[in-house]
């Protein structure tokens, strides 16, 4: 497989943009750096809407081609998700390999997947991503095939590859269904034991795994300063000040424009958030983008159908901010009507207060379950 070193990133500015291009580009740079790819140039085009054929228009794609050659780039990456036609046309116009943001995120997931379940979920997402892009692979996809494994000489390479991917999707989905059943049984046992489950939700690399490691005192939990370090679900028992025990679950982190295929593939893993009693929204308070990340997390949780689950805001990495900034962030969330606590998962600061709040939330959840049980 070819290794790419220098990329030019391309994006659009349209009237209905939800995020600033500079913010998205900064994030895309970070994503690519996690694949050891250096961004050597940026191209932004203002349009009313994406060009159906080239995303950025045919004329602009010629300019981008010359720009890439000047910089010695070997990869073109778009911040927008590409249609098969757009990707094919951009490859022809520039002569370069072309990736889009969803594919970049998928490549990182692929690199981070170590367990059998994570690898299956990434493979499922990749298969779903590849099917619509098969026709953009070139003339060879339209040539008739033949021989063993085909449906006769009239079947094209496109049809053969599509059948192969569909068969793989079916097989992987069946194996993941078994994982889902096992998880469901585990949750039933927890419920029967009366255990309250808290789930950690937050932007990738916000310190969720560090928080779980510190609270559970489990030194086997791997913590790295990189995006999407956690792709599996880790559930650990936490002892609270009252003597009660609760479960804390860590799951895959969020990011802007998280590819729908990945979300669908990791549905089994993300169910820990959907089916938890309380969601702990972990925010990196040191970045200066707390409210933007909070908005992305809220939207993602809403899309999962988990917006009604009680939540607690955990402002992490408070050892890296001033007391003034810390108090400002706390007051801002309090004014929004949110329950919030400031901590540093790394130094342990504020964790006693967090445990006290978890105790209160656990009591509220138990009372709610009892009342619901009585009402039913």
* Cα separation, 137 vs 159, whole angstroms: 13
Alpha helices in the chain (DSSP H): 21-33, 58-71, 84-94, 101-112, 116-130, 157-192, 208-216, 260-265, 267-274, 290-304, 323-335, 351-375
In the chain, what are the domain boundaries? 6-108, 113-173, 194-375
| Digit-coded pLDDT (tens) for 111-144 | 888 888 888 888 998 898 888 877 655 544 455 5
* Cα separation, 294 vs 49, whole angstroms: 27
* Residue listed under structure tokens 């400002």: 328
- pLDDT value, residue 310: 93
Q: Is the pLDDT of residue 153 over 60?
A: no
| Digit-coded pLDDT (tens) for 258-289 | 777 888 777 777 878 888 999 999 999 998 88
For domain 194-375, the CATH class is: alpha beta
- pLDDT value, residue 144: 52
Q: Is the pLDDT of residue 251 over 90?
A: no
- Topology agreement, domain 6-108 and domain 194-375: yes
Using alpha carbons only, give the angle 50, 51, 57 rounded to the nearest 5 degrees.
120
**What's the half-sphere exposure (Cβ side, CA atoms, 13 Å) at 20?**
5
| Digit-coded pLDDT (tens) for 336-369 | 999 999 999 999 999 999 999 999 998 888 877 7
More confident site: 278 or 152: 278
DSSP letters spanning 318-359 = GGGS-HHHHHHHHHHHHHTT--EEE--TTT-TTHHHHHHHHH
Q: Is the pLDDT of residue 372 over 70?
A: no
Count Cβ atoms within 10 A of the Cβ of residue 338 and give its class: 0-12 exposed, 13-18 middle, 19 or more buried: middle
In the CATH scheme, what is the code of domain 6-108? 3.40.50.11060
More confident site: 308 or 155: 308
More confident site: 274 or 1: 274
38-46 β-sheet, strand order? 38-46, 6-13, 75-78, 97-100
What angle, 0 to 180 degrees and rounded to 10, lies between the N-to-C axes of helices 101-112 and 21-33? Answer: 30
Mean pLDDT computed over every residue of the chain: 86
């Amino acid at each position: 497989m070819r290794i790419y070193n220098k990329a030019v990133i391309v994006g659009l500015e349209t009237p209905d943009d939800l995020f600033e291009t500079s913010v998205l580009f900064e994030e895309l740079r970070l994503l690519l750096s996690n694949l050891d790819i250096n961004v050597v140039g940026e191209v932004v085009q203002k349009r009313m809407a994406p060009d159906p054929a080239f995303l950025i228009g045919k004329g602009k794609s010629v300019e981008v081609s010359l720009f890439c050659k000047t910089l010695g780039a070997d990869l073109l990456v778009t911040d927008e998700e590409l249609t098969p036609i757009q990707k094919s046309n951009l490859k022809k116009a520039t002569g370069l390999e072309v990736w889009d943001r969803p594919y970049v995120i998928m490549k990182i997931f692929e690199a981070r997947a170590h367990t059998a379940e994570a690898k299956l979920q990434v493979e499922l997402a990749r298969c779903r991503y590849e099917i619509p892009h098969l026709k953009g692979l070139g003339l060879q996809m339209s040539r008739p095939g033949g021989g063993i494994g085909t449906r006769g000489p009239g079947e094209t390479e496109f049809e053969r590859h599509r059948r192969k991917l569909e068969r793989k999707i079916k097989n992987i989905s069946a194996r993941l269904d078994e994982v889902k059943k096992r998880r469901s049984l585990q949750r039933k046992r927890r419920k029967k034991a009366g255990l309250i489950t808290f789930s950690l939700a937050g932007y990738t690399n916000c310190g969720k795994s560090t928080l779980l490691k510190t609270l559970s005192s489990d030194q086997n939990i791997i913590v790295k300063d990189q995006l999407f370090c956690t792709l599996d679900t880790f559930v650990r028992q936490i002892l609270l000040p009252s003597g009660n025990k609760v479960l804390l679950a860590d799951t895959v982190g969020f990011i802007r424009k998280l590819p729908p295929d990945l979300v669908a593939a990791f549905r089994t893993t993300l169910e820990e958030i959907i089916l938890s009693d309380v969601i702990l929204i972990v925010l990196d308070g040191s970045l200066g983008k707390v409210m933007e990340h909070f908005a992305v997390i809220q939207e993602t949780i809403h899309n999962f159908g988990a917006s009604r689950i009680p939540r607690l805001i955990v402002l992490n990495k408070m050892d890296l901010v001033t007391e003034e900034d810390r108090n400002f962030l706390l007051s801002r969330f309090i004014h929004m009507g949110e329950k919030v606590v400031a901590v540093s998962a790394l130094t342990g600061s504020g964790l006693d207060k967090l445990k006290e709040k978890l105790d209160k939330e656990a009591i509220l959840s138990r009372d709610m379950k009892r009342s619901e049980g009585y009402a039913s």
